Structure formats: C-alpha cells, structure tokens
Structure 1
C-alpha cells in the first residue's frame, strides 16, 4: 500500500497559514457540465485529480484523471519532482496548472484542495458532486473526443 509520510513533506502550521494567506481567491467550483467539458476535451493546463484510494478506482475511474490519494499520500504535492514521478509514475503537476479535485462525495476533494493551496498551488477547483454526481448523470458514458 502506498503511504507517504506527511511529516516529512508537510509545511509547518505557520507556513501553511502564510501560504494560504498569499493565495488569492477561492477554488473554482465545477458542476457536472464543467467536468464533462474537461473529460471530453482535455486541457493540458487543467488536471482532474481523483483523491480516492487506489482500491476505490477499481469500481470506476474517470477518464483523463490522475490519482493522488489523499489518505495514503497527503504530502504528495510537497514532494520533489523526481520523487513524485518515481512514486506515482507520472509527472508532478506544475504550480501554474489548475488542479481540479474530486473524490466519491466531495468531502476529501475539499480537504485535498486546501492542502494543495498550502503547497503553493493557487489555481484550484473542486467538483463537489464528485463521482456520485458524475455517475448519476451519465458520466460513465462520456469519453474524450
């Protein structure tokens, strides 16, 4: 099981507060239609990040998304580029890309978004409906064009 020690990469409480203070604005809130557009026409400047655990992806994995599990890898976005790529097998998101977080119901997505901001990612979004909303509205039939 993937487990990244958060204590080794998490900023201190005062650093997180400082970084959060420097971040401007709130996360963009995505609805089903907004996520549908990102899946159908992927944008290199926007990354869909599923924060569910790898075992949860066995039931359904959203097309074009990457998986950075919140519970087992909370400090992932604080890792150096090379270490991140070695662990996840894909490049670490750049801090000028928009990171759009989702999970099963939206609760972990919000926590992951706040954590990303503490690491300096300022352009963030959340899909509050997450996988439940996606599947209820027919998302399983949507593929990249």
Structure 2
C-alpha cells in the first residue's frame, strides 16, 4: 500500500475512534445496567451521596485523579489511576461515560486522563449536558452502585495527543499550526503565548441546555478563530483542565491533529517561554 493511502486509512481509523465522543442523555439511558458501560461521576463525594447521581454511576471525584506532587492538575500517576478505576469496577474494554455538574469540563479531564493511560478512545464518552441536565428528565438515585471491583491495568496508548514545551515553542512560527488559549478573555489579556487565539471553553457550551452548542454554531466559532480541521491545533490553559473540554469537542467534530499541552501556561512561564499581553 502506498504511503499516502496508508496515512489516509490511519486517518479514517482515528476519526472513527472519536465518532461517539459526546453522547446524549438518551444514549446513556439506553445503556444503564449494561455490564460493559461504566458511568463515572467526577463531582465531589458529598454531591454524589447527598444530591444523588445517575443510577449505577461510580464516584471518582476530580480531586482524586490529579497530581498532588507540586504540579497541580497533572496526571495522577499510573498506580493511582489503576486503583481508582479498579475500585470503580471499570473493565479494560468498558465504555466509560463521564459527567460532572459543571458543563462537562471536569468530566472531560477524566476522559483525557483515561485516553492517556491507554483506555480505547472509541469507548470514552462525555455526557452532553451535566448532572443538572440529566436530573431534569431522567431518574437519579442515592443508592451505592453494585458493580464489583476489577483489576484495572493501564496501557500504552496507541496514539498520545500530549505535546511538550519544545514542540509548542517550535510551533510559534508555524503558519500551519494554531495555538489556542482556552481560558477567559481576562486571563488571556493578562498574558498569553505569542499569536495564540483565545476561545474560552465556555464559548462552546450552551448555558440553557448545559451541553454543547449545536454543531453548526461550534464550527462557526472555531472557523472565525482560524481553528480549522486542516491546521494542527495546540491547546493550552493553566493546568490542563479547561483544554480537556476543548480537546473533547474538537475530537467530536472530527479534528485529527490536536495537541494537548498538559504543562500549559504554568510550565511555559516557569521555563521562561515568551508571553504577550493585550
């Protein structure tokens, strides 16, 4: 097979991996009770227990799957991740559906972490709309989930979106790459990577439905900022939480070349990277 044809096949395979990244409440409702579907609630434990949760969901609070070793927001470590998913009853090939009550930004971080630790990308799903949206039309419970524990083991991902400081620095002068700052405009104005475009992750969310805006509107917002599928996209924020949501959105829209700068502005400034202000 010619190299160009091989690349095309690989590209199509990656696109299929992300076909069902964002799923509706109806999609999830049809799969509740399925042994191969693990629903993960990343809110605080008191919310899970006191307010209620999606039936069968396991509680994996956001604070438990981020590093606490001085690099706040970074990956929690393989052993920690294995322990969390084993306790939640997650199997190696399960469909993981994550939700929070903050428009999906914390749930997206969970899903990106799962991808980086080797869970199959085609089995990672963000609930479109958060717990508040689910609660309006679907059953909730305060009962503890009945799933048995597992022995979850991390794997090397087939493809990692992570990019390092050096990659981002080299991309500053690359017209084929767009660097995207997903923070609030106020933060962007105070200091951002040179020539980065600002698309606040909340710009992609519908406040009324608490889920994503319609696809046509999403594409219009992104196109207006020069974030098109034909360009390489490098994402950053402060500590890799907000870029997780934008990463999931771009994947759901079929963007293929998306880089995830986990170190984000925290590492960038620590290493003396150039910064512009408004």
TM-score (norm 1): 0.67
Counterpart for residue 29 of structure 1: 162
Q: Distance in 2 between matches of 1:137 and 1:12?
A: 35
Q: Distance in 1 between matches of 2:226 and 2:195?
A: 15
1:68 alignment partner, one of 162, 186, 199: 199
Counterpart for residue 84 of structure 1: 221
Counterpart for residue 274 of structure 2: 140
Q: CA deviation at 1:126?
A: 0.7
Is 132-141 or 90-99 further displaced after alignment?
90-99
Q: CA deviation at 1:71?
A: 2.0
Q: CA deviation at 1:68?
A: 0.9
Structure 1 segment 30-45 matched on structure 2, within 5 A: 30-39=163-172, 41=173, 43-45=174-176
Q: Deviations over 1:96-142 (max 9, x none)?
A: 21111100111111221111100111111110000011001001369
Which structure: larger Rg?
Answer: 2
TM-score (norm 2): 0.37
Runs of 5+ unmatched residues, structure 1: 1-10
* Cα 1:84–1:115 shift into 2, 3 Å: closer
Q: Distance in 2 between matches of 1:109 and 1:77?
A: 19
Counterpart for residue 112 of structure 1: 246
Runs of at least 4 residues of structure 1 off by over 4 A?
Answer: 80-83
Q: Deviations over 1:62-107 (max 9, x none)?
A: 102111110233457944599438xx9x454221211111001111
Asked which structure has the greater RCO (Cα within 8 Å, sep 6+), the reply is 1
Q: CA deviation at 1:54?
A: 0.4
- Number of residue pairs matched? 121
Counterpart for residue 154 of structure 2: none
Runs of 5+ unmatched residues, structure 2: 1-20, 28-94, 96-120, 123-157, 206-211
* Cα 1:135–1:83 shift into 2, 3 Å: same
